[in-house]
Amino acid sequence: MTLRVAIKVAYFNIKNLARGFQIQPDVETIFSFLQRAIIKTGFLESQEVKIDYAGRTDHGVNAICQVIAFNIHEKWNILPDRFLHRINANLPQNIRCWAFALVSIDFHPRFDAISRCYHYHIYSQSHRDPLKDRYAWCVWPAFSVDKIESASKLLLGTHNFSAFGSPPIKGGHANRTVISSEWLQIGLNEWVYKIRANAFLYHMVRRLVFLLVKIGQGYWAEEKFIQGINNQLPQMSGLAKPNGLNLFEVQYQELEKNNFEKDN
């Protein structure tokens, strides 16, 4: 009998250790580290492991809650903490599996997700801070908080976001529903942008953050941003740096927060 498990994974995507999440030929990625670690546990039905995941993250992007799923043999229906410890023992320090759940055999962490939430951290000062640069984008000159907050609210609802990213599948549609979009100040000169949607286009969050900052700095007009949302007007080129982005949460109908058992 086959069991299917879902696991929450956190990683700090150190650039010289792994090039993004998705598997790539002849390059170490977060996925390749996970794949080898899971194979070494012996939990799998066969060595031809198929690991599904909620979404790929770019080179340099971090995650608190990437979700992966794969099948195991029923004989490995063991305590979650032992299960996770076995995987974590074979992972580098910047990657950790931290929660576990048994799921239906047809569960898919990407296609069954009902929403995703990303956080983007920025700080604003005239000189870079090497410690903050590990997880945030240094923005200068300073920006108007009122302007970026106002523009971020324009994203709410269902729109064709093709001016802000590309579909992950060639020929796919660009309609997405943004559920929440807000900026919170978390320090003297530090902010986090929180955006939740049913799904995202490729590079969508980094494009949006870049443009919101440019609006706040006066380098891009809110009117043009609105036309991008409503009429797909091409926008100023550019992306926010990957290190500020964090895949914070993926939600499922099947899995509530209390379905996952955390590592001790």
pLDDT in tens, 35-60: 999 988 887 766 667 899 999 898 88
**C-alpha span between 111 and 1 (Å, rounded):** 24
Asked whether residue 254 is domain-assigned, the answer is no
Q: Are residues 101 and 81 in the same domain?
A: yes
Single out the catalytic residue among 58, 81, 106, 146: 58
**C-alpha span between 72 and 45 (Å, rounded):** 5
> pLDDT class for 243, splitting at 50, 70, 90?
very high
- Per-residue burial over 126-135, b if 16 or more Cβ lie within 10 Å, else e, is eeeeeebeee
Asked whether residue 206 is domain-assigned, the answer is yes
Asked whether residue 145 is domain-assigned, the answer is yes
Q: Are residues 238 and 121 in the same domain?
A: yes
Q: Are residues 119 and 242 in the same domain?
A: yes
Residue 129 annotated in active site: no
Phi, psi of 7 (to 5 degrees): -130, 135
Q: Are residues 218 and 122 in the same domain?
A: yes
> Residue 193 pLDDT more than 60?
yes
Asked whether residue 262 is domain-assigned, the answer is no
Please state the domain count of the chain. 2
Q: Are residues 226 and 135 in the same domain?
A: yes
- Per-residue burial over 65-82, b if 16 or more Cβ lie within 10 Å, else e, is bbbbbbbbeeebeeebee
Q: Are residues 15 and 48 in the same domain?
A: yes
Question: The domain that contains 59 carries what CATH number?
Answer: 3.30.70.580
> Which residues constitute the domain of residue 84?
2-111
pLDDT, tens digit (0-9, with 9 covering 90-100), for 14-28: 665 667 887 777 788
> Residue 81 pLDDT more than 80?
no
